[in-house]
Amino acid sequence: MSGSNSKAAGAAAVAGAPVQFMMKTRLSAEAAVEPDPVHTGPVTKETQIIAIYGKGGIGKSFTLANLSYMMAQQGKKVLLIGCDPKSDTTSLLFGGKACPTIIETSSRKKLAGEPVSIGDVCFKRDGVFAMELGGPEVGRGCGGRGIIHGFETLEKLGFHDWGFDYVLLDFLGDVVCGGFGLPIARDMCQKVIVVGSNDLQSLYVANNVCSAVEYFRKLGGNVGVAGMVINKDDGTGEAAAFAERAGIPVLSAIPANEDIRRKSASYEIIGRPGTQWAPMFETLATNVAEAPPVRPLPLSQDELLGLFSGSAVGRDVVLQPATLLDMMGREEAVKPSLEVIYDEA
């Protein structure tokens, strides 16, 4: 290196030192700032983005299809996004018809060298706009990564500039990998709603979601739980007891009713104004809109089991430690340790 180059490099290093010091000082100042306090008032952002979580098969898609339909009939502009690899969130809304997914459409358009347009992935019925993110085929990719890719595509299509009153995100609660926790981890939504029933597995998932919200609140996040929808409510009360212990309200209790089951199975919307079940979904729509996001109180495993009778969860079972005889079919000879133990000085 020539003398002039050496001098230039030395000068650059000296000049860079103050910049590094200023950067370090700025980052330290940012780290010292306390996170925003827990939100307890009404949601004021013009578009409410709400993530709905629950165990697979618990009735999230049924609840959301009817809720979004009722909201639209009340004059709200609603977007329903299915974030489950099964891609079945919109099937009830569209009378059993499959909706082309964003991942599938994006891959096909990319191979053809064509851009994805909003009309390729977003469809509407009676004022409700809906789309499915989709997911990879079994064994061919990560569902969580598919969710992330789907939202990246939505952002390219102008997601943050769309003018909706409500955006409802239907998320699978059984899976806890990164993509499925995206709305909570990245503050993409203002509030979360859990759907559960009077069974241990669905409440375990609901409790997991509450734990995730609490975890990210401790890291400075702002997402809260607005409440719980009890689906297939048979009146035994475990889900209501969970909601009370977790400090979240019950937004609606949808009964275990044969008429609801039969109409849902035939892809019929029951949340229509003027019908038998309209008042239930009108109340749910109001509660979803007005319920503030709160910081939940997740239950411990023992507390969760305590919501159920011992016969239901097997709490009378005694854990018996296994032995080497159980594992190997013979007793293992005790071998002296080769560890060197020094006497205390």
Mean pLDDT over 106-118 rounds to 88
Q: Which residues are catalytic?
A: 55, 60, 86, 174
To 10 degrees, what angle do helices 200-218 and 238-246 make?
A: 10
Q: How many angstroms separate the CA atoms of 105 and 83, rounded?
A: 15
Q: What CATH number is given for 48-305 in this structure?
A: 3.40.50.300
pLDDT at 258: 96
pLDDT at 209: 93
pLDDT at 251: 97
Residue pLDDT, tens place only, 257-268: 999 999 999 999
pLDDT at 342: 76
The β-bridge relationship of strands 166-172 and 48-54 is parallel
For residue 256, which amino acid is it? A
CB-count exposure of residue 168 (10 Å: 0-12, 13-18, 19+): buried
Helix (H, G, I), strand (E, B), or coil: what is residue 196? strand
143 versus 246: the higher-pLDDT residue is: 246
Asked if 181 and 167 count as a contact pair (C-beta separation under 8 A), the reply is no
**pTM of the shown model:** 0.76
Mean pLDDT over 133-140 rounds to 65
Residue pLDDT, tens place only, 184-231: 877 888 999 999 999 999 999 999 999 999 998 888 889 999 999 999
Asked if 213 and 185 count as a contact pair (C-beta separation under 8 A), the reply is no
Residue 30 CA, distance from chain mean position: 28
Mean pLDDT over 46-56 rounds to 90
